[in-house]
Structure 1
Amino acid sequence: MCELFTRDKNQQKKTNSRFIMLKQRFRLLEITEQLRAIVGGVTGDKFEVPGIIVVGSQSSGKSSVLEHATGLAFPRGEGMCTRVPTVVSVQGGCAKANLMVSANPEYNDDATFTLDPSDVQGFGNTITTLTNQLTNEGEISERPIYVRLQQTTGPTFTVTDVPGITCMAASGTQVSAEEIEKATTDLTRKMIGTSEETLVLVALPATDDFHNSKALQLAMKADPEGHRTIGVVTKIDNLPPGSDVVHRMSGKELYLRHGYFAVRNRTQQEINDGMDLAELDTEEESLFFSDTVLCELPMEQRGMPRLLEKIYEEQGRKLEEFIPKMKTQIKDRIREETMNLSKLPNSLVTDAERATFLKRALGRIESDFRRCATSDTSVIAASCKVTNLSARVYQSMLVLEETVRNHICSFLGDDIKQELRDASEEGRGYDLSNFMQGPVFRDAFHQKASDVLEVNGNLAIDNAKKHVRACFAALVDHHFGAKVLVSVQTGLMHCFDRQFDEMTERTRELVKRIVEAESSVTFTCNHYYAQTIQKFNDIVSENAHHWRGNHHNKYGVDAGVSEGIPKDFMERVASSFHNQSNDASAIRTMQISLHAYSKVVQKRFCDIVPAVVMKELVMNSTSMITDNVLQWSEELIDKIKEDPNVTHRRQILQNNLERLEKAKALLETV
């Protein structure tokens, strides 16, 4: 009695263990199909999800295999009944039978139907209804129908029925025979794929030559070694006497690693008569013993139970390998797509996003421009010369100094001497001949220097303006992306130019006033002026006795070179000294005075103008940008239109991440 109780208890444990295992298996299968639908929408490298598909030609008994495996009566009839893939998930060992049909793998939308598993007509009508929703009459679609069958007994597995290959177009449709053959062939080829994770069941009518099966040809091409292909031999109850089906199923002609399985399916009459799976299994088993051909078939190739056992075994093995690998792949892909998304420019869809983007970009431009103005060479790169603004402006100011020096005359030539003599003659009657006349001095300086100062002052402004604008434009390209937001860049440069042009004109006015002051007022505290005149007088005084006696005497002519008095001028003075009048001496003194004063003015002008330019055009530009950031943002916000390629790329990555996160969450439930 005790032994009997123990035996019963152990049997109960085994039953409970099997029940738990079946529930776990079905949960994995359910998750796998949900994952297939989720990751199937991920753009880029595809994920390989385990699956079992049934392929074959139209009327090869393909759907009948599914009926036999599940007990569900799929639509039958003339023509193409299966026009979309049908994913059938069977869960054995449930508390009660239940049937759900949907176009959604999660079975949670309005297109989900709950049926009585015994309602043959209701199930067939539901399949037809969803098929018509997913595709047009006579056409093929890749969008699947999902069927979930829960039953109290039987195995747990998932299999996908693929529309059969056919060259017969449905009557009353505009689809040609060539089009339907191509569509069914292409879909079969795609479903077979190249993934080692997909197990392919090829429905082969027993009365046909296996070599002629287009579905098997496609499977063998994708799986030349037959490692993932199973031959399912159908219609074995119609064998002619002497059939060689046993020989063909031996694999000696067409080898398949998993072999061939012969199954007997229900006829339409048997379905109409209500034959259930138990009766079908009995008829099938009886056929293998009674048929003179099939009785020669090895036991391991006989019937649906052996086929389901093989499916169960192979699918279980693949699932055990798949889940851990998939978890790793999903996490790696999330990390990769997140990184790819972070590399894209900020989203510019909403007004708030555009405003934030503009303010940040303009803030960075303002900050970088300030750095450029203070000789920071690391703003973009040390090699980017255009953004080293202070150095570029400094170089243009050196040009100012050089051009002013080269274009203002020295006032020491004989031509100037004659002009000064003529002007002095015109001042007689009021000024004494040996006095340096102020109006003559100012007029001579104005005629020779004012235009040079004005022209080169404006040229210095133009050069500085060019460098400031080029620096700002480079920063705009750097922060907005060259040729990406062209309208924004153009608009921003317009805003900048509008303000900067006003600043430039104010700077011109300042420089103009400096030029006018230099032209109308003779003033200096610079000791160079007096020292130069004193040096000239000292040279004359020291060498006068030499020059009076011999006009060819050159004593002391190079003594003033260090003070900026040219040797050739002193040679002319020495040569004419012996017969030089007091008036001529006064003219020479005025010449050396104009020469010394022009040097003072050149130095003063070439110091003050760069200081004004740096202050007004460079330093004040940073303040101008800071003061106008908000206004420019408001003006430019409507011009921001994200690059369509960036938008499309972002949408793809966001969709990928959304699906991958959903897949990750689903896998975490395992």
Structure 2
Amino acid sequence: MHRPGAGSEDEERYRDGMQSGVFYSHLDRQVRPFIELIDFLRSIGIEKDLALPAIAVVGDQSSGKSSVLEALSGVALPRGSGIVTRCPLELKLRKSFGGKWKAKISYQGVVETFEDPSLVEIHVRTAQNTLAGDGVGICDDLITLEITSPDVCDLTLIDLPGITRVPVTGQPEDIGDQIRRLILKFIKKQETINLVVVPCNVDIATTEALRMAQSVDPEGARTLAILTKPDLVDKGAEPDILKIVNGQVVHLNKGYIIVKCRGQNDINQKISLADATRLEMEFFKNHHHFSPLLEQNKVTTQCLATKLTQDLVDHIKTSLPYLTDQIREHLETVKTELKKYSTGPPLERKKMGPYLTERLMDFIDKIHELCRIGNSSEKNLYTFLRPVFQQWDSYLSNTKGSFLNKVEAMIKNYDKEHRGRELITFSDYCVYEHAVQKHILGLQEPALDVLKAIRDMVQAEFRHVCEACFKSYPQLRCLALTKIDEIQMKQEAKVEKRIKEYINMERLVYTQDSIFVKGLKDHKDQLKEAFEEEHFYDPEEIEDITATFNCTAFDSRKLTTDKLGVYYEIVYQRLADYVPMLILQFMLKESAKMLRIQIMDLRDGADVVKLLSEDSMEGRRRADLHQRLDRLKKAQEKLSEF
């Protein structure tokens, strides 16, 4: 591209004041697409994967760095003694035609827009205090200030903290090392143009900023030096400055440019930036030694702006093939890496809802299968439950003997402890009924123990399914586990109430006559043997007993034990089956149904991003890879346009 030289139309416009703002850029249409390309790549975070072309501004404290940036941007940036720039400041200058001045500052999730140039300094200081704290410390976090104005050229610069050697009050002893590490982090990248600001009235060969630039760019291929404060050069020392500008002291491929910006005295005298630009041009036009540099485009801020813009664009153009190759290589690496990980949640919010539904349905299906056939883990759930129910069955069976022993003891001592006005051999039914009731009541706690044991197993298995299905999603896992615990607690209370109700029903001491008679008939041989041993056998009496339908008429103490034994067998069968069935129905089947319904309800008004946020190392790594893949694809697509 053509660069304006002395006497060019652009130069004449600049000198005659015909431009619409302080700086005129005839390269706008050719420059802006490349500047916007890099801005786009930076906005999608591609710098997390590879370095982008940039211009980093470096200088010692009080080198005039802020004045240069102020002249380029057209706004007052923070000034003062000591460290003024405490965080890297990305300064985006965007030329607008016919539009009004506006700015946007972004940092740590904060985005603010404003239309008053005088507020720039306040916003920048606020951002620095937020990131680096109130005081004089520094921070690596980036502040982005985008200025859109008809008075700027298209350019992006990164202003870095000024180099210091001696810490001041409130600064850590290693502040100098901290600043150097921060500066090197930017200027060592081969994609960065290093803009070194050096005052004319110091020995350039000993300048720390230039020395740091040379350490990472020995050939000076990507270093441009700006010489400031030319009005402070001692008389007679001007030829030395010319030697520097001509590369005879320290050679730099990009060379040197001298600028004269507003000093503190100019600010105190309220000299505007526009007037300062005009005075700068007059200074160089009238300077005996420096005026020839005008024709060589080696002086004035306008020349600097044009050169920086052109250099940056050239640098971007040169870097594009390399960037394209790097992005392609990174894409292949990321795709290969992603194959090592299981499928995770989508990054696009609109796809998260269906994905959440899939995860919930998977959980529901597994819960359903768990209830249907018991399979969920390495062992079938019913292989855990059945032994508990078998123990309950054995317990009931074993208590029959102790129950009958108590009945026999009661019969033996009946006349002494229970007989009332009745004749001998006659009995009070209530006494035996009370014995049955007391024994049945003693079965309540063991039944509740079975409930608690099964509840623990079912709850543990439900939680196991939850942990497996929602392993990587802490929010979703927490909600599901809470649902499981709440449902199990509610169902346990319901079953406990029903068991107690059933035990109370069993204390009624009742069964259908036909059922009891059938039990007596099945036990007939045993009764016959008992009667024979007691020499009290009467076939007709036995037939009368087994045919009767009045099951409450215990008219012979000698037969009471056997009769109660028959009745206990009926109670035993009822309890042995009813308690497990009751527990299975409410603690497993109904709990699973309730859980499935409540889990699906999680979709209603859900914050899917929060529910699908992952906490596992694998999940975080996969999410990071997906994010990288997304931005690399966007970058590749954008680069394909150039």
TM-score, normalized by length of structure 2? 0.56
Q: 2: distance between equivalents of 1:162 and 1:627?
A: 58
Summarize the Cα distance change of 1:640–1:137 in structure 2 as closer, same or farther, 3 Å threshold: closer
Among 215, 223, 234, the alignment partner of 1:230 is: 223
Residue identity matched to 1:395: P
Once the 2 structures are TM-superposed, how far is the Cα of residue 306 of structure 1 from its aligned partner?
A: 9.8
SS in 2 for 1:208: coil
1:8 is aligned to none
Once the 2 structures are TM-superposed, how far is the Cα of residue 398 of structure 1 from its aligned partner?
A: 1.2
SS in 2 for 1:192: helix
1:213 is aligned to 207
Summarize the Cα distance change of 1:111–1:431 in structure 2 as closer, same or farther, 3 Å threshold: closer
Does 2:374 align with 1:376? yes
Among 338, 341, 345, the alignment partner of 1:342 is: 345
SS in 2 for 1:377: coil
Does 2:577 align with 1:610? no
Contact 2:101 2:147 in 1 (8 A): yes
Summarize the Cα distance change of 1:501–1:454 in structure 2 as closer, same or farther, 3 Å threshold: closer
1:405 is aligned to 397
1:202 is aligned to 196
1:162 is aligned to 159
Among 28, 46, 51, the alignment partner of 1:48 is: 51
SS in 2 for 1:203: strand
2:269 is aligned to none
SS in 2 for 1:508: helix
Contact 1:55 1:203 in 2 (8 A): yes
Residue identity matched to 1:606: A
Q: 2: distance between equivalents of 1:212 and 1:508?
A: 94
Return 5+ residue gaps in structure 2 as ranges: 1-25, 107-111, 130-141, 263-274, 299-303, 540-555
Cα displacement string for residues 59-113 of structure 1 (whole angstroms, at most 9, x for unaligned residues): 6576898899x9x99989996899766556799xxxxx9999653599xx9868x
Cα displacement string for residues 285-330 of structure 1 (whole angstroms, at most 9, x for unaligned residues): 946999xxx9xxxxxxxx9999998766544312443356458869
Among 30, 34, 49, the alignment partner of 1:29 is: 34
Once the 2 structures are TM-superposed, how far is the Cα of residue 505 of structure 1 from its aligned partner?
A: 1.7
Contact 2:367 2:465 in 1 (8 A): yes
Cα displacement string for residues 559-595 of structure 1 (whole angstroms, at most 9, x for unaligned residues): xxxxxxxxxxxxxxxxxx7xx7559999988766766
Residue identity matched to 1:35: F
Once the 2 structures are TM-superposed, how far is the Cα of residue 159 of structure 1 from its aligned partner?
A: 5.9
Q: 1: distance between equivalents of 2:157 and 2:128?
A: 19
Q: 2: distance between equivalents of 1:346 and 1:78?
A: 44
Contact 1:142 1:187 in 2 (8 A): no
Q: 2: distance between equivalents of 1:527 and 1:138?
A: 94
Q: 1: distance between equivalents of 2:355 and 2:505?
A: 43
Select the structure of larger CA radius of gyration.
Answer: 1
Residue identity matched to 1:342: P
Q: 2: distance between equivalents of 1:270 and 1:420?
A: 122
Task: Count residues with an aligned counterpart.
Answer: 540
1:446 is aligned to 436
Residue identity matched to 1:611: M
Among 509, 513, 529, the alignment partner of 2:505 is: 513
Contact 2:389 2:580 in 1 (8 A): yes
Aligned 1:248-287 pairs, distance under 5 A: 259=253, 261-265=255-259, 272=278, 275=281, 286=292
Once the 2 structures are TM-superposed, how far is the Cα of residue 395 of structure 1 from its aligned partner?
A: 2.7
Summarize the Cα distance change of 1:483–1:532 in structure 2 as closer, same or farther, 3 Å threshold: farther
1:135 is aligned to 124
Once the 2 structures are TM-superposed, how far is the Cα of residue 499 of structure 1 from its aligned partner?
A: 5.8
Cα displacement string for residues 159-195 of structure 1 (whole angstroms, at most 9, x for unaligned residues): 6373783879xxxxxx98979x989957972783543
Return 5+ residue gaps in structure 1 as ranges: 1-20, 92-96, 113-125, 169-174, 295-302, 542-576
Identity %: 14
Summarize the Cα distance change of 1:529–1:88 in structure 2 as closer, same or farther, 3 Å threshold: same
Q: 2: distance between equivalents of 1:592 and 1:76?
A: 105
Aligned 1:346-495 pairs, distance under 5 A: 369-378=367-376, 381-382=377-378, 388=381, 390-409=382-401, 420=411, 446=436, 450-451=440-441, 453-454=443-444, 456-468=446-458, 493-494=485-486
Summarize the Cα distance change of 1:90–1:282 in structure 2 as closer, same or farther, 3 Å threshold: farther
Summarize the Cα distance change of 1:420–1:265 in structure 2 as closer, same or farther, 3 Å threshold: closer
Summarize the Cα distance change of 1:31–1:144 in structure 2 as closer, same or farther, 3 Å threshold: same
SS in 2 for 1:195: coil
Q: 2: distance between equivalents of 1:261 and 1:285?
A: 17
SS in 2 for 1:160: strand
Residue identity matched to 2:378: A
TM-score, normalized by length of structure 1? 0.54
SS in 1 for 2:255: strand
Summarize the Cα distance change of 1:280–1:25 in structure 2 as closer, same or farther, 3 Å threshold: farther
Summarize the Cα distance change of 1:531–1:55 in structure 2 as closer, same or farther, 3 Å threshold: same
2:552 is aligned to none
Q: 1: distance between equivalents of 2:478 and 2:605?
A: 13
Once the 2 structures are TM-superposed, how far is the Cα of residue 502 of structure 1 from its aligned partner?
A: 3.5
2:270 is aligned to none
Cα displacement string for residues 353-383 of structure 1 (whole angstroms, at most 9, x for unaligned residues): 9xx99999998777655433333322xx336
SS in 1 for 2:197: strand
